[in-house]
Structure 1
Amino acid sequence: MRKFKIILVWAWVTFFVTSYAEIHEVVVQDNNFTPANLGVLAGDTIRWFNQGNNNHNVASTDLNFLFRCAAGCDDTGGNGDPAGNGWISEVTFHQVDASIPYICEPHVGFGMTGSISIQTPTEFATVVVSDANGFEPQSLTIVQNTRVRFTNAGGAHNMAADDDSFRCAHGCRDDGIEGVDEFTGFPWQIFMKFTEPGSYAYHCQNPAHTETGVIHVLSDAIFENGFDSL
């Protein structure tokens, strides 16, 4: 029986990729961002820490990636006004972009600027949505922390979790960036990471559509423990 289970899981693994999403940290202190220039992969998160005594914030100057954060981000109900020591803010970048410049609003005149390069991951699973075929594949199994690229290949679509845990199109809700998570015909493409094991059912919210999908996320402990957890 154990041999059968191992063979079955190994068959699944042949369809997996394991490019893990990361959290990158930037220190905000003494009118500097450290590091000031950062390259990350689409699906990664950047976490800013204000460790100085001055009032600082983080505000993008790219109209396609608008975020403004300090004690939380404006787009997610926080307050992006400059604030003093102790705040922590996170922004997740779901789309590829060569360079996203940002500033500290009160200290840009002192050279307090930074930039983020969002690069395409080399490994990821893929889901494509279209009017003709819905979500393809309709069911996808991955290992936790894997990135999934969702692409709109035609039609007014978005992807919304049945339990309301995420909603994305040309941007995702609650990622810190001002974006569009309602269904749209814009040819959007995003990367998402799935960090917790479980099954994530989702659908397109366009009332004229019936597309549904599901992502099954397996624990990486299955493989770390030599399948003993099966």
Structure 2
Amino acid sequence: MEVENVFSVMADITTTIGIAAVVYQLFNAKRSLTNERKALVNASGALNVAVETLRADHERSRRENSVMMIREWATSLDRRGSLCRKFVESLSPEQCKSLSKEEVFEISKSQLKMAKGCFVGLEQLEVNTDTCNTEIYTLSQGQVSHLRWLISCYLNLLETLFLAAHQNIADTGIFVSQFSFLIEPKENCFMLKDYRNAVDGDKTYPSIAWMADLIKEQRKQSQPNPAPPVVSIPTA
């Protein structure tokens, strides 16, 4: 019986040691898991900081690009370019079609002053002698070609600028703010929309069309809501 008791005690001790070993392993596993979890949290925090830093750098770069591009745009402007833009804005859709095809077309006396500013150094504008109308002037082939070249250069530069914002390389908000003056309904200014339509519209200048829509939408949102109608209450 004593031998059996000894074996029984030894079995209990072995079992206890085994259980203790398992508990110890579980404790180490839990501690390891806790450490790994902390490491994962730290790594996640570091990743978030890196993402925020990268985002901030990207935003700063976009603003810097915007300022640089607008500065280059401003230095490229001259009086003739401004007059040509305003002159083409004053053209009818039919006149814009003629201009896009480099076809000779007529202008009215009210457009004469702006037209003269576009053609400094070229031949003078002539009265349309076919109709003997002193209020109608005809652009020569050379003048039409010169005007089309100037306007194409202007629109190509504008498209390049807005493409940067369209592709998220530059700050869209800055561009909307700085170029909103190009949309002025009271003066019939819509970024040369009639001429752009004459040269296949949005397909030729998609970024200009995109920016024009953004400016219009911003103005619509900034307009105050109309006041509710006043309801008069009849008195007894």
TM-score higher than 0.5 here? no
More helix by share: 2
State the TM-score, normalized to the length of structure 1: 0.29
More strand by share: 1
Greater Cα radius of gyration, structure 1 or 2: 2
